[in-house]
Amino acid sequence: MLKKLFERKEEVAKTIELRAYVTGNVLKLENVPDPVFAEKMMGDGIAIEPVDGKITSPVDGEIVQVFPTKHAIGIKATNGAEILIHIGLDTVSMNGEGFSVNVKEGAKVRVGDALVTVDLDLVKEKAISTVIPLIITNSNSMSSIEKTILSGEVTSANQTILVVTAN
């Protein structure tokens, strides 16, 4: 009982920065050629049209889901933001072909850690688009989602693309 009384609680920042998770060109979510993302049915976020296939963690957090088809990763950030990185559009039908996952569910990740490597040429051949949306799936639990970059080139792990504040 006394231990709990004197134990220091680590303060968790309510506001976090999400870095570019792949090198490429930033797109507004509204410009993604898929209504599920463009109409923000799963939550708010941003997208990047990649120039390489190396997907990295945009935040410090924990891997909460690796889809069996390897086309999407779920991360829970330190402030509670739930992040979905969806690699390409209509890539679920590829059944993991061309995707190499570098993390497992439950793994702790830091900004810039390798998550997935994808063969973009194969995605171009077999899917609708290579664009990679990033969605805050619990957007309603966040007090703000600020998009710091709305267009232009970004380099993986370098630029802050979103600032997310929890309630």
Question: 76 has which bridge partners?
Answer: 62, 82
d(CA 123, CA 30): 21
Give the Cα-Cα-Cα angle 92, 69, 163 (nearest 5 degrees).
80
State the catalytic residue, choosing from 21, 77, 86, 130: 86
Percentage helix, strand, coil for the chain under 3-state DSSP, each rounded to 5? 15, 40, 45
Distances (CA, A) of 162 to 3, 98, 99, 153: 38, 28, 26, 15
What is the largest distance, in Å, between two alpha-carbon atoms of the chain?
62
DSSP-derived 3-state class of residue 89: strand
Does the annotation count 86 as an active-site position?
A: yes
| Active centre residues (catalytic) | 86
